[in-house]
Amino acid sequence: MRRTFITLSVLILSIAASCKSDRFKETGTGITAVVQSKQVTIEFLTPSIVRVNKHLIEAQPEKESLSVVKSPDKNTKVNINEEGDDVILSTKKLTVKMDLATGKISFFKQDGSILSQEKLNGSTFKSFDDAGKDSYMVKQGFVLAKDEVIYGLGQVQNSSLQQRNRTIELKNSNHDITIPYICSLKGYSIFWDNYASTSYSDNESETSFESIGDCIDYYFMYGGSGEGTIRQMRELSGQAPMFPLWTLGYWQSKERYKTQFEVVDVLKKYRELQVPIDGMIQDWRYWGEDSVWNAMKWDSKRYPDPKQFAKEIHDLDAHLMVVAWPGFGPLTDQYGEFESKNMLINFDTWPPNSGTKPYDVYNPKARDIYWDYLNRGVFSEGVDAWWLDSTEPDHINVKPEDFIQPTHLGSYQSVSNAFSLMHTTGIYEHQRQTTSEKRVFILTRSSFAGQQRNAATSWSGDVVSDWNVLHDQIPAALNLSVCGIPYWNSDIGGFFVWNFPGGKDNLAYRELYVRWLQFGTFCPMMRSHGTDTPREIWQFGEKGDWSYDAIKKFIHLRYRLLPYLYSTSWQVTSEGKTFMKPLAFDFEEDKKVFDLEHEYLFGESFLVCPVTESMYTNYEKKDKKYVNACENFNGVKNSTVYLPNGCSWYDFWTGEKINGGQLIEKNTPIDVMPLYVKAGSIVPWGPDVQFAEEKGWDNLEIRIYPGANGKFTLYEDEFDNYNYEKGKYSTIEFVYDDQKREVIIKKRNGTYNGMLKERVFNIMVVSDSNAQGIENGQNSIAVKYTGNEKVVKL
């Protein structure tokens, strides 16, 4: 009788499996099913990342993602069950349910609580002629909770941190870096894997993405927290490699230095004034006239010896970044070769009326050719880093037919947003193939999902010098950062100084410049650049002048922070973290920070509140110009700062300890920006240097901010090669026990060439009587350390 029961049970299970296979097919990592004339594929890449792909049955699109590098992990265990009309796929992290009658897909945490869901009948395909190819306008709608907090969409300069109740055309431009990606404070994110201009819309009925495409293709990721969503996006689209230490120093640029001698003389003057600097930037036209735009050759009259140029920069302990563009003038060798091989995209790019055309970045052979010229003409001369300008690219004299012309990967309109991604891919991959002794460092005006893997840092474009624009940089940077792009900066002082007659000589502009530079000190890259007026420190006065002294003070502060910055970079690379993040990512229980767009967290310890309003200049804004500035910058003004609830905070400048969860007034004279450190933080304090590698880190101050337990990992390597990828680096973990008032310096892990064998850590407990701001603190405890664990009683 028992054997009969077993046989009957097997028969029932076989019938159930047969019924299941009639409605969907298991693939090992998910399922495929046909629902309402659409083939739907649900595929788990990891237990936390799932891909949803939909296309019409009659179409069989083949798509290889430009952004996604993660392959499905075959070891991911996916449990699949059928309940009525629902098929339910579960992993240890995430549950996905699809209604086999309607096709609606919902996403749940393992405790059964809903994360997000598609809108019923929210998947639409509308026929579209894509440059003669039968395609579609594809749209997917989602239903979000009414009070759900959403960030993302890239660098959209709309003054907003949250992206609810907005309609935005996601199209890369000079000022906008658009990424079809949103993340929720519920701990999940959605990446719409499409490279065409995309319409994003959020309203009471739905949140949707709509683009040209052969299929609906998106990734749903569950990270469990705000920062967890960044980690998932990096796993999906690629990790960010380490930059050299020197890239975290100060950079000087302008539009433009006109000879190699001018660049070297600027650097020499910085050294004479003893103002720290690590990078000089050569902007455009070093090649000559616009007809040979971007020739990747040096004008022999103004740059007679490029190798000597780079050598003089290096002999002054700095590095050289040189601009390169994606377009070529009609008289360049590159233009001729690309044209003969049908590798130009036929529209006008910068500069106007020059006949300059961009190359087909989507073609790998074209990227090979581009690097060959760049390497022979520029990189081989000793250049250290790249400024890849106009990577949207600029599009001048726009005509409808420009968008329907073919590229290597399809019509230009279908892949336009990925231009920068493909262009930087070519530079990164080719330089890595050329040498491992010099890390790739790219500054680029545009970006797209996955570009962090190309060692690229983005900047916010040719923004106008204005207080409102300065304010808008903060939420723009934060929303780009949450999309997985960790490195960002802006032109300190703004690019165009139209609103300030007299430029650097206008006291109103000097105030704006100083405040912008203070913000730039707490960005991943600190770079002064612009047109209309020069930006070198001596243009703002001399020692003793308020503007000069304030600028020098914050450049010195940047260099004291180098051990903290470099260790944070390692967290970015090894743990999927980020430099700049919204306060809500660490304080999601405090609703007051959800829309707080003018403050942010910098690494794990600092709360930064840039001053984004004029305090000292009594100006008249007449005809959109700032005029009639006063000259008194000695008085003390105030800024309002909100300190999030959930911990205590220390005023960086005074050491005062303040409870969170309150608005405070902070004195902000022209040389002070509101800056706070979270209780429990451990901050390494570097030596006073003129360039990043001037002194070793053999005598670091370790600042302890009591009031909570804390830990920090100090990361060190050879600073500028790829040996760290082979394990050539070291980490030292510091752990602070607040109750015991004890610091444990743990055993050092790892080794690298040139590693310090002996060192001293000067442990200092911060308080209102023992805090010196930028200067070294008092009453520190000197601890000799040779790599073994030490316990320090405070």
% of the chain beyond a pLDDT of 90: 92
State residue 15's pLDDT score.
Answer: 34
* Residue 510 Cα distances to 146, 630, 631, angstroms: 44, 12, 11
Residues noted as catalytic: 389, 392, 462
Asked if residue 487 is part of any domain, the answer here is no
What's the number of domains the chain is made of? 3
Which residues lie closer than 8 Å to 530 by C-beta, 6 or more apart? 254, 255, 465, 491, 492, 493, 494, 495, 496, 497
Confidence of residue 636 (pLDDT cuts 50, 70, 90): confident
Domain hosting residue 335, numbered range: 262-459
Evaluate whether residue 320 is within a structural domain: yes
Based on the fold, state whether residues 192 and 337 are members of the same structural domain.
no
Q: 38 and 187 in one domain?
A: yes
Rounded CA gap, 190 and 119, in Å? 14
Burial class (CB in 10 A: 0-12, 13-18, 19+), 178: buried
| 271 shares its domain with 219 | no
CATH number for the domain spanning 712: value is 2.60.40.1180
**What would the pLDDT profile of 196-209 be if each residue is shown by its tens digit?**
999 999 999 999 99
pLDDT at 776: 86
Distances (CA, A) of 325 to 183, 387, 655, 680: 32, 8, 47, 46
Q: Tell me the per-residue pLDDT of 764-779, one tens digit each, with 9 for 90 and over.
A: 999 999 888 998 888 8
Beta-strand relationship, 781-785 and 759-765: antiparallel
Provide the token pair at 474.
């903060």
Backbone torsions φ then ψ of 30, nearest 5 degrees: 165, -145
Q: CA of 154: how far to CAs of 416, 450, 725, in Å?
A: 16, 12, 29
Query: Where is 517: in which H helix or E strand?
Result: helix 507-521
Q: Categorize the per-residue pLDDT at 62 as very low, low, confident or very high, splitting at 50, 70 and 90.
A: confident
What phi and psi values does residue 472 have, to the nearest 5 degrees? Answer: -70, -20
The mean-pLDDT minimum among 17-26, 78-87, 154-163, 447-456 falls in 17-26
Q: What is the pLDDT of residue 617?
A: 79
> Among the three residues 459, 478, 506, which one is the final residue of a domain in this structure?
459
- Where does a domain end: 459, 487, 505? 459
User: What are residue 554's DSSP bridge partners?
Assistant: none
State whether residue 102 is helix, strand or coil. coil
- The 3-class secondary structure across 705-747, one letter per residue, is CCCCCEEEEEEECCCCCCHHHHCECEEEEEEEECCCCEEEECC
- Which helix (H) or strand (E) segment holds residue 99: the answer is strand 95-99
Residue 642 forms part of a structural domain: no
Give the Cβ contact number of residue 747 at 10 Å.
Answer: 11
CATH of the domain at 428: 3.20.20.80
Q: How confident is the model at residue 646 (pLDDT cuts 50, 70, 90)?
A: very high
Cβ proximity of 530 and 496 under 8 Å: yes
What pLDDT shows up at residue 628? 66
When pLDDT is cut at 50, 70 and 90, the band that residue 11 belongs to is: very low
286 and 429, same structural domain?
yes
- In three-state secondary structure terms, 792 is strand
Is residue 347 a part of any domain in this protein?
Answer: yes
Considering the chain, what is the average pLDDT of its residues? 95
pLDDT of residue 21: 52
DSSP 12-59: HHHHHHHHHHHH-EE-SSEEEEEETTEEEEEEEEETTEEEEEEEETT-
User: Is the same domain home to 67 and 115?
Assistant: yes
743 forms beta bridges with 736, 792
Q: Does 279 map to a domain?
A: yes
Two tokens at 545? 């002048």
The predicted-structure confidence for 523-565, as pLDDT tens digits, reads as follows: 999 999 999 999 999 999 999 999 999 999 999 999 999 999 9
| Euclidean distance between CA atoms 254 and 527, whole angstroms | 10
Work out the number of other CB atoms within 10 angstroms of the CB of residue 353. Answer: 9
Q: For residues 128 and 275, state if they share a domain.
A: no
Identify whether 529 is part of a domain.
Answer: no
User: Which DSSP letter does residue 348 get?
Assistant: B
- Cβ atoms of 154 and 479 within 8 Å: the answer is yes
- Residue 710 and residue 759 in one domain: yes
pLDDT at 9: 33
Lowest mean pLDDT among 14-23, 48-57, 451-460, 671-680: 14-23
Among 21-30, 339-348, 768-777, name the most confident range.
339-348
Give the residues across from 649 on adjacent strands.
658, 678
Burial classification of residue 737, based on how many CB atoms lie within 10 Å of its CB (0-12 exposed, 13-18 middle, 19 or more buried)? middle
CA 548 – CA 259 distance, rounded (Å): 26
Asked whether residue 368 is assigned to any structural domain, the reply reads yes
Q: Compute the residue count for the chain.
A: 794
Task: Indicate the helix (H) or strand (E) that contains 511.
Answer: helix 507-521
Phi-psi region of 199 (alpha: psi -120 to 50; beta: other; left: phi over 0): beta
pLDDT per residue as tens digits for the range 251-310? 999 999 999 999 999 999 999 999 999 999 999 999 999 999 999 999 999 999 999 999
Q: Which residue has the higher pLDDT, 776 or 123?
A: 123
Give the 3-state DSSP-derived string for 664-680, with helices as H, strands as E and coil as C: EEEECCCCCCCEEEECC
Residues 343, 271, single domain; the answer is yes
Greatest distance between any 2 Cα atoms in the chain: 102
Whether 367 and 338 have beta carbons less than 8 Å apart is answered as no
Q: Give the residue-averaged pLDDT of 732-750.
A: 98
344, 349, 359, 395 from 398: Cα distances, Å = 16, 10, 17, 6
Q: Is 364 helix (H, G, I), strand (E, B) or coil?
A: helix
Mean pLDDT value across residues 364-377: 98
**Alpha-helix runs per DSSP H in 435-506:** 467-481
Label residues 629-638 b or e (16+ Cβ within 10 Å = b): beeebeeebe
pLDDT at 103 over 50: yes
Neighbours of 543 (CB within 10 A): 11
Same domain? 212 vs 274: no
Q: What is the pLDDT of residues 583-611, one digit of tens each?
A: 999 999 999 999 999 999 999 999 999 99
Q: Among 559, 560, 608, 612, which residue's Cα sits nearest to residue 580? A: 608
Shared domain check, 146 and 88: yes
Residue keyed to tokens 């028992």: 2
φ, ψ dihedrals at 547, nearest 5°: -70, -45
Identify residue 27 by its one-letter amino acid code: T
705 occurs within a structural domain: yes
Question: Domain check: are 164 and 304 in the same one?
Answer: no
- The whole-model pTM stands at 0.96
Residue 188: which of 115, 112, 119, 117 has the closest Cα?
115
Checking if the pLDDT of 227 tops 60, the result is yes
3-state DSSP call for residue 580? strand
At residue 16, the pLDDT reads 39
Write out pLDDT tens, residues 455-511: 999 999 999 999 999 999 999 999 999 999 999 999 999 999 999 999 999 999 999
Q: Which domain-ending residue is among 429, 459, 489?
A: 459
Q: Do 349 and 206 lie in a common domain?
A: no
- CATH label of the domain that carries residue 53: 2.60.40.1760
